[in-house]
Each structure stands twice: as C-alpha cells, then as structure tokens.
Structure 1
Amino acid sequence: MLFWPVLLILLVTYLLNNRRYRWIYILYKTLPRDLTAGYRFLKLNLRLSKWKRNRETIPKVFSQLAEKHPDKVAFYFEEETWTFEKLERLSNQIAHYFKSKGYKKGDSVALLLDNRPEYVALWLGLSKIGVISALINTNLVADSLFHSIIVAHCKALIYGTDFSKAVSEISDKIKDLEHFEFGSKSFDDEIKMQPSTYPEEVESVELQDKVIYIYTSGTTGLPKAAVVSHLRYMYAAGGAHILANLSSEDVFYNPLPLYHSAGGMIAVGQALLFGNTIALRKKFSATNYWSDCKKYNCTTGNYIGEICRYLLAVHKPGTKVEHNVKKLLGNGLRPQIWNNFINTFGVQVYEFYGSTEGNSNLINIDNTVGAVGFVPRYADFIYSVILIRCDENSGEPLRNKEGLCSACQPDEPGLLVGKIQKKMAHAEFSGYADEKATEKKVLRDVFEKGDAYFNSGDVLIQDELGNYFFKDRTGDTFRWKGENVATSEVEAVISNIVELKDAVVYGVQIPGTEGRAGMAAIVDSDNNLDLEKLASGLRSKLPGYAIPMFLRIMDSLPMTGTFKLKKVELQKEGFDYYAIKDHRLYFYNAKVAEYEGLTQEIYDDIVNGKMKL
C-alpha cells in the first residue's frame, strides 16, 4: 500500500534536486525542433556517406547533373543565361587548357576576378585536373595581395582586366608566376580552341583532396588561406541545402562575392551539387535586391548582417515588396531588427554561424530571434560543440589545477570550441596552407589529456533550450561591413606611414550598425602628425573596410604595471566625445577620403544615425 506514495515522493525529490524538473519544460519546448533537425542531419549524413561510398567529387557530381538536365539554367547573370551544359563545356575546356600548360594535381593557381559565371567555370575546370584555386579577395592591394598569392604557394595568377593596376603594383614581386589575363582576346581564344570533352584526370581526384583556398583574417594579421577539400565544400553546401530544407527547384539569389564562403560555397554549391539555378549579381545593391529576385523568380537567397540593415534602410515604410523569396540564409542579422526584417519582407531566415575552416558550425532552423543556431543540451555527444570558460579580456581558456578546461553553464558566456575528429565531415579541421597558422587554432588537453578542439575565437552564450547567441569576437580581429579586419595588419600599415609613432587599432561599436568600426589610437606628443599623409597611405595600402573610421590622438598609450597595453580600456571609451575630455578625435569622411575633426555635433549625428559611415 505504501509503494506508490513512496515512489511519488522519491520522484518529486529527484526532480526538485538540481532543478531537474526544468527538463520537462525544456523537452516540451525543444522536442519538435530537435526531431526536425535530427531528421535533416541524418539526411545530410546519408548524402555524404553516399558521396564517399561512390568516391564522388564536386566535378563528378556536377557532370552528372549536367548530363541529367543539360538545358536547365545554372546561372542567370545580368542579361546572360548559362545552362548546365554550357558551364560543363567551358570548365572542361579550361581543364584541358591548363593541362596543356603543364599544370597538374596539387598545383595551386590564384584567381582574382569579379563575380561572373566564368569565375565558377575557372575553378571548377582547374579542379577537374586536381589544381587548387586560391580565391583572392578582390579588395586586396599591395602587400596583402602579394601575401595572399604567396601563402598559397601559387604557380600562376588568373586576373580580370579590372585588376591590372593592382597586379602591376606587385609585378616585381610575382614575376616568376605565370600570368593569365581573363578578358584578353588571346586568353579567351586559346580556351575556346580546347576540346570540351570530360578530362580523364577527374578520376584521379579524391574526396579529401584540396579544391580551393578561401581566405580568412585571424590574429596573425595578414590573410590566411583556409583549406577547403571536396568533402568540406560538400558538407557546407549540403548542410545549407538540407538543414534549410531547400529543393532542387529553388532559384537562389546571390549578390555576395564568390571569394567568400557564403557566396562561393553556400550559394554556388547549390548549383554544382544539387542542380539549383543561381541568379548571380556582380556586386550587392540594396535598391536592386528585390527587383532582381522578382526578375529571376528567385525563391531563396543569402545575406550578411549589413545587407539586412541596408534593405530595411532603403525600404519605404508601408509599401509591399513584390517577390517570391520564401527563405534567406546568412549570418549577422541583428536581433534588434530581426522581427522588423522578416515581417517587412515576409521571409523566413536561417541564421547560421561558422567559419570557412572551422568545425563549430550551427544553424537556426526555427526562427528563434537572435539565435545563431543550437545544439540540444542532451546531444553534445553527437555534435561536440561546446562553450568553455575563458578570460573576459583576452579570450584565453581558463584551466584548473590539472590544466584542463571547464564547460560553461547555461547563460554563461564562453569560448566556442569544437572537438576535432578526423574522417567526420562536420568535425574535421583541415587548417590553412600555413601549418603554423593551423596549429594556433587548435586547443589541446581541453577536457582530457590528448584531446584536440578547434578554437573559434568567438564568445557565445547558450540558453537552457540549447540556443546559441553571439556575444563577441576575441583576439585582435573585428568584423566591419561583412569583412574580418586584423588589427595587427592595420597597425603595421599605420606604423610604416607615421614611422616612429606608436599606434594601436581596435574595433568600436556604433549604435544601429552591425559589427565594429575600426579605430586607431596614435601617440603624437609632438603634435606633428600629418593626417593627409596618413589617409593617403591607408587608402593605398588597405581595402576600404579596413581603414580606421576613427582616430584618437594621445600623448601616450595606457599600460599596466607589467607594460601590457590596456586595449580593453580604449575599446570601452571608443569614440565617445563626452568621455574623452581632450577631444583629440577625428573621423574618416569617405566622401572626401580624408580625416576630419570629430565635433560634438558630428558625434551626436553618428550616434543618432543621422550620419552614416
């Protein structure tokens, strides 16, 4: 008779201990989401397993699609229409051309070209003979451009006519490389003369082989060439396709650069691996975004955070935008504009988090406002991405007396890391062309001796439902206008221009904008800094997004007692006109490409959103 009352008391006691009763609520709230994600994740892994079993690679899968529906549109570009057959034929001709020039499996070639279908044909064709394409950021100039070519061990450079000036400025440094100018009559004619048959070398290319390098900025300063294998590319494109529940009939709008993973992998991969049609734009335009989508009958597309803000900024309140887009994939949509964006344009967003080279990839499939993705708290043994406790200022992991790290509790900010597991597409870390840079991103002995985790360099928060929210970027990088900026690179350029003056660069937040704008604090105790020379030098050496938007002139930089720079202190003060009493502040006026004094009126206009930077 006492059995059931005693059992009930024991059950209640168990649930009350450590708030275990919350798991009933957690499961109630998350089970539909988790079952949906689990089913899609299983589909993704089955697709990857099939590709592995059949030893498929990107060119093999694409050739099968081209044979299956040769007349289907692969790319819309301006007024051009590119069918799958057309893209297949051109990529085959490119493969034969570079084979005739002596290029072979394992060689790498730099590609510097604006968005256009031929961009994809070039690296796809090179991949058919096992040549790796280094996709160069088209904003780069001078030393950063030279470094990007050299760090990938490139034997040749393919560049568009528009980039002749940038190439000529470093020509002395790359004179040993073979040059191919896309758009020149000789190059184009030689390609057209090649056979369009399927190259036999495709069969020798393996799934784990490198296919492209995509560049990412890190704490080392100059761009790093992240290794992307065929499998890695397939996982990224396949993950987006299957987890966002796309169909092969979706028409994908892509205005993002093809040298970025969002444009070159997530978007283009839909055509190469799933037979989707891509509407490609040379450069993003806020005023043409929705009209392009309507023109090409797009049903899905991509974004970065700034794109969403720009689209809202040009939209006339109260007016309806005509389009057929149902889903947008991307990252960086600010929580503050999330609901306004989806309600204004009537789309579902699939916000994702990840890096080209990393294994800590997440996606938000249920439109949880502000979330960059999720991992069920009871399923981290399946998908081992986790937050660990770290130093608030440096981002360095905190270790106990045994030298191991500890996991964060729900709602506790921490460094996001992912366990490195070889031969598992979602957990691999192939690193960079530079082995030293690769090792710097690996954390060892995290939870047990001998384990290894990828260090994302980002601080996130996970709530009790398993949702992740981005908090901050650690290390000496910040993100501005959709690009990562390495502070050490900018500091080096400033030091070369102003010579003996000390300088430090950091990112500062501007209300109403995504990411952080660059700010430089420069020591000028003699009051002889030449601002015109500084602005001119920065314009010639850095891409526009990396030029510091604000300057702070100081007599000395703040240091700790152990001579460590107090960069966090400078970041907190930012460009606040009211907090910095000496008012030795300047802002970069992009309209005249010069630094001008930051007055109280201008500061107020920037903070209140009346002046855009």
Structure 2
Amino acid sequence: MQRLLLLELNLLTTLLAAIEEIRKEEDIAKLPIYQHHDPMQVRQNLPQLSGTIGLTDALSAASVDAPTEEMNKGKVSDKMVYIYTSGTTGLPKAAVITNARYMFFVLGCGFMVGVRQSDIIYNPLPLYHTAGGMVGLGTVFLLGTTTVLRKRFSASNFWTDCIKAKATAAQYIGEICRYLLSVPDRPHDTSHTVRLMFGNGLRPQIWPQFVARFNIQDIGEVYGSTEGNSNLANIDNKVGAVGFVPVYAEYLYPVTLIKCDEETGEPIRNSEGWCIKCKPGEAGIFLGKIIRKTPARAFGGYADKKASEKKILRDVFRKGDAYFNSGDILVRDIFGYFYFRDRTGDTFRWRGENVATSEVEAVISNIVGLHDCVVYGVEVPHVEGRAGMAAILDPKREISVENLLNGIRGCLPAYARPLFVRLMDELPMTGTFKMKKLDLQQDGFNLDKVSDPIYFLHPDGVYRTLTREDFEKIQSGNARL
C-alpha cells in the first residue's frame, strides 16, 4: 500500500521527532515526504531529514486532464468497502459498507459518545475492522479529530503512549480493558489526559474498577455489529449498560427484544404466528427493523446473499415486515437501558437452567487474576443439555483449581459452575481481541483430541484431573455427574 506525508516546512520542524520515529518501522522506512518548498531548502534547514520530494515538481509532472464525468457520479447507496466480521462463531463474512452506512455509523458513534473536534484519539486497534478502521479513522475525515495510531496493541505501553501523544480520548474493544487492568499498578496510570474511552466489550464486573484505577471521566460503551442496522450507545456512564432507548422512542428508533429459545436462538411465536416482545427484565434477541428506503435503517448484508438472508427475520409482528436479527441476547430494564447477556448459541441449558457464558467468563476471570477465559457448553453422552466447560489461559500453570472452585461456589449457582476446566498455553482469539469458541467446543473434554490438563467436578465436590478411566465412564454413562 502506498503512503505519503504532505507537510509545510514549519510543520516538518514541529513533527520531525515523530517522523524520525515512524521511519524506523521497517515497512514504512521509505515513506515518501512531499513538501511545498524546494528540497534544497529542507536540507539546509533540516539536514537530519533527507529524501523529501518537491511538491511543485511532482504536480508539474501530473496529468492536467480533468477527470471524466463518470468518476464524479455516485450515490449514498453505493458500496464503499467490504469489512469482514470478527469470526468469533465461525468463518468471517464480508459485510457490505455503503457510503451512507459509513457516514451514519461514524457520525452516530462520534456524536453519541461525545467525541469532540479537538480530541486527540489514541487508536491501537486493527484498521481492517469496524472500530479501528471505520470509527477510528472516520472521526478524522468526518469530525476533524486527530487520531494517533499504534501498529499493535500493547497493554504495558498503552498509557505511556497516551501521555506521549497528549491523547484526550482512546478506543477499546473486546478484552482490552481487562488486559489493561491486569498490568501491575504504575504511577502513570493516572498521569494521562484521557477523559473519554469508547468502544465495546467492557464487562460490567470490572467497569467500576477500571474507571477508578485509571481515572476515566466518561465511558462510551457502544453496541452494534459491522453489518447490522441497529446500534446502541451508553451515553451517561450507566455501569454495565450497552445502550439506552426510551420505550416511547421505539417508533422513532425501531429496535426491540423478542422472546426466544436462548440455547438455539429460535424466536418464540404466539398462537397467531407473531413474535412476542419481551417485558422489562426478560432476555430476548435484539432486532432492528429494516426500512429499505431509509439509509440508516437499511440492511446491506454480506457479499454472500444466502448469509444475508439468514440474518433477516420476516413476518415478525405483521405480514411482510422484516427485521435484522443480531443473534445477540440482551435484557432491557424498565428505564430503557440495554444490557448484553450472551450470543445465541453460546448460552446453554444445564440441569433445567439457562447458563449465560459471558457472565460465567467474567466471574472466573476475576477469580484467576484476569486471565483469559472462555466458557462454552459441551455435550455429555446420556445426559440432557450441555455441561459447562471453561478454558483458561495458564501457560505457567499458576492457577489453583481448588481456589478457583472456592471462588466459583461463592459467586455462581450450582448449575452455572463449569463441570470441566481446561488449562491452556494459548487461547484462540480474533484480531479484534475476542475469544473464539467453536474449535474449543468441538474439542470438548475428549482426551483423544486434547493434550492440555483437564479437570472435572468430581462427585466428591472437588476438581480432579480427568483420567482415561473417568473419561470412559462419562462416555458410557456410568459416571455420576
């Protein structure tokens, strides 16, 4: 990819240190620098900076022909770019981003969370994804902010980078906030000027601790998907909430929750065949009404039309209507705040109760010192439902399963306690810091597939190493679980 830096001479002087720093990076060591003055003048004033190119000469060599009329034509509905989904539950899919969606997404997110034109935003996220590429860079193009990029996220350098850049806002996604908390306390934890952090994935269990430790004035937790038409934003620091929509505003912003089978994600319909809206406090699938002629409410879908059709729920409340099915289970309280519960398919049923994996993951992560943790349901032969299994990052084998169990007993009901625990050297993760469950779920507790240590909750009430004898008893249905 071609890159260039275009600056006036006075700006070259101001940014010299930054230019020298980024040119140390191997892939941009030959970064072309164009300037309005004669290259000789630059060499005389800034001898330590060589290789600049005179813009006047470059422009003189360029074509003077006017662009064709065809190049100037375009519509807000035109496809701008494809952005791949994270792929947490399967293969990534190419989501279609139109000009209109790009503008609505960036402006909506920026205005809702309180981004200012004067903000310097620290962006350590991958630019090929929605958060880093669309929102992070989009605020520069559409709101006039300044964005500071980092090639790769680093928990140990996050706050020192913010201090160096004089950042006033910073982005997060997935497990980034937990990674920042896992770094030992340091004096510069609060020496920065960041007033706003925005993104998605800040778990409610660590939210107060995160805000207090790093002295963050505002958290802009945003909910949405790359391809979806229904996004939410928490604009008033309500701990744990992913957004707010007053009940009376549903006609203006038609999003809703409908009852479903939390394990399969299948909508529950009444005797007349219509979906049933959730009452406050009830968990359900989050839907956004599709209005094709309204850019903000349209659903562009994926490059794969079959995959697009699977995300559309039809005849929801009346014949012919259509809603985008987020695939996420949320809860709305009586005031209109939304809270993320789980992904459909992640929630599983054990001993007659629904288990939300995200809640169990947060509890276990806190118990084991904020280590990465993934919880999922696994099939057990001859037993109804799926048993909970937790995969925990523990390369040094520091985790005490005894302490883990004691902590779990104090925080989780019996049906939500993982029956199996797998300690791993590395956990599969997407480029957007989200855990991938599918491969782990397929491995299950099968000793023929897994070489990592696996523990199971023995009938005597403690976690014990899963032996071949134990495994065969469970497989044959002769084990007491």
Q: TM-score range by the shorter chain?
A: 0.5 to 0.7
How far is the alpha carbon of 1:457 from its aligned partner?
0.4
Contact 2:391/2:422 (8 A) holds in 1: no
The whole-number CA distance in structure 2 between the counterparts of 1:115 and 1:230 is 30
Are residues 368 and 384 of structure 1, via their aligned partners in 2, closer, same or farther at CA, if it must alter by over 3 Å?
Answer: same
Q: Which residue among 134, 137, 150 is the counterpart of 1:268?
A: 137
CA offset digits 1:569-608 (Å, max 9, x no partner) = 133688999899xx997533239xx93323589x989xxx
**1:540-586 alpha-carbon deviations (Å, 9 max, x no partner):** xxxxxxxxxxxxxx9x74576xxxxx4xx133688999899xx9975
Q: How does 1:103-118 map to 2 (within 5 A)?
A: none
CA distance in 2, matches of 1:389, 1:220: 22
Say which SS state the counterpart of residue 431 (structure 1) adopts.
Answer: coil
TM-score normalized with structure 1 length: 0.52
Aligned amino acid, residue 401 of structure 1: S
Contact 2:375 2:388 (8 Å CA) reproduced: no
SS at match of 2:451: strand
Question: Is 1:396 aligned to 2:335, yes or no?
Answer: no
**What corresponds to 2:388 in structure 1?**
571
Kept after mapping to 2: 8 A contact 1:115/1:283: no
Displacement after TM superposition at 1:305 (Å) = 4.0
CA–CA distance in structure 2, aligned partners of residues 118 and 471 of structure 1: 48
Q: Which residue number corresponds to residue 517 of structure 1? A: 374
Q: Aligned partners of 2:299 and 2:16: how far apart in 1?
A: 34
- Secondary structure of residue in 2 paired with 1:343: helix
Q: CA deviation at 1:520?
A: 9.1
Q: Among 294, 299, 315, which residue is 1:424 paired with?
A: 294
Q: Residue in 2 aligned with 1:343?
A: 212
Matched, 1:588 2:457: no
Partners of 2:190 and 2:215 within 8 A in 1: no
| CA offset digits 1:359-416 (Å, max 9, x no partner) | 1200000000000001001110000010001113211100112111011110111111
Among 147, 162, 167, which residue is 1:298 paired with?
167
Letter in 2 for 1:399: R
Between the aligned partners of 2:27 and 2:109, the Cα distance in structure 1 is 21
Q: Distance in 2 between matches of 1:344 and 1:196?
A: 56
Aligned to 1:332: 201
Unmatched 5+ residue regions in structure 1? 1-65, 83-113, 120-190, 479-505, 522-553, 561-565, 606-613
Aligned residues: 363
Q: What pairs up with 1:188-587 in 2 under 5 angstroms?
A: 195=62, 202-216=71-85, 221-316=90-185, 320-347=189-216, 348-475=218-345, 509=361, 510-512=364-366, 517=374, 557-558=381-382, 566=385, 569-571=386-388, 586-587=422-423
Q: Is the 8 A contact 2:123 2:150 kept in 1?
A: yes
Deviates more, 1:209-218 or 1:391-400: 209-218
Deviations 1:189-215 (A, max 9, x none): xx9999498965651232211111111
Conserved in 2, the CA contact under 8 Å of 1:227 and 1:432? Answer: yes
Report if the CA contact (8 A) 1:417-1:454 is conserved.
yes
Q: Which amino acid aligns with 2:341?
A: K
In 2, the alpha carbon distance for the partners of 1:71 and 1:242 equals 33
Structure holding more helix per residue: 1
Do residues 79 (structure 1) and 12 (structure 2) align? Answer: no
Shift of 1:318: 7.5
Q: Aligned partners of 1:256, 1:428: CA distance in 2, in Å?
A: 27
In the alignment, the residues of structure 2 paired with residue 292 and residue 387 of structure 1 have an alpha-carbon distance, to the nearest angstrom, of 40
The answer to whether structure 1 residue 597 and structure 2 residue 453 are counterparts is yes
Q: In 2 relative to 1, CA 206–71 (structure 1 residues): closer, same or farther, beyond 3 Å?
A: farther
> What letter is aligned with 1:392?
E
Residues 116, 235 of structure 1: alpha-carbon distance in 2 compared, 3 angstrom cutoff: farther
CA distance in 1: counterparts of 2:60 and 2:107, whole angstroms? 35
User: What is the alpha-carbon distance in structure 2 between the residues aligned to residue 77 and residue 116 of structure 1?
Assistant: 15
**Per-residue displacement from partner, 1:235-281 (whole Å, max 9, x unpaired)?**
11101221122221111110010111010111110112222111000
Q: Does 199-208 or 364-373 show the bigger shift?
A: 199-208
Output the amino acid matched with 1:266: V
Q: Contact 2:122–2:162 at 8 Å: present in 1 too?
A: yes
Partner secondary structure for residue 335 of structure 1: coil
- Whole-angstrom distance in 1 between the partners of 2:324 and 2:27: 31
Distance across 1 between alignment mates of 2:219 and 2:125: 17
- The secondary structure found in structure 2 opposite 1:284 is coil
Tell me the distance in 1 between the aligned counterparts of 2:254 and 2:78: 25
Report the alpha carbon displacement of residue 446 of structure 1 after superposing the two structures with TM: 0.4
Aligned-pair Cα RMSD in Å: 4.3
The 2-side partners of 1:240 and 1:78 are apart by 33
SS of the residue aligned with 2:452? strand
Conservation of the 8 A alpha-carbon contact between 2:390 and 2:422: no
Q: Distance in 1 between matches of 2:28 and 2:293?
A: 34
- Partner Cα separation in structure 2 for residue 304 and residue 374 of structure 1: 19
Q: CA deviation digits over 1:282-301, x for unaligned, max 9?
A: 01001111111111111111
Change (3 A) 1:71 1:240: farther
Q: Distance in 1 between matches of 2:146 and 2:212?
A: 26
Once residues 347 and 10 of structure 2 are traced to their aligned partners in structure 1, the CA distance between those partners, rounded to angstroms, is: 45
1:220 is displaced (CA, Å) by 8.2
User: Is the alpha carbon distance of 1:464 and 1:598 closer, same or farther for their aligned partners in structure 2, counting shifts above 3 Å?
Assistant: same
Please give the secondary structure, in 1, of the residue aligned with 2:338: strand
Shift of 1:230: 1.1
Q: CA-to-partner distance for each residue in 1:437-456, whole Å, 9 max, x for gaps?
A: 00000000101111000000
Change (3 A) 1:220 1:243: closer
Measure how far apart 1:466 and its partner are: 0.2
Query: Post-superposition shift, 1:71?
Result: 9.2
Residue 449 of structure 1 aligns to which amino acid in structure 2? Answer: K
Give the AA of the match of 2:157: N
Shift of 1:223: 1.5
Once the two structures are TM-superposed, the CA of residue 77 in structure 1 deviates from its matched residue by 12
Cα gap change, 1:413/1:323 in structure 2, threshold over 3 Å: closer, same or farther? same
Q: Answer yes or no: is the 8 Å Cα contact 2:275–2:317 preserved in 1.
A: yes
User: Which one-letter code corresponds to 2:365 in the other structure?
Assistant: P
Where structure 2 has 5 or more consecutive residues not aligned to the other structure, the ranges are: 1-5, 32-57, 349-356, 393-400, 406-413, 428-449, 465-481
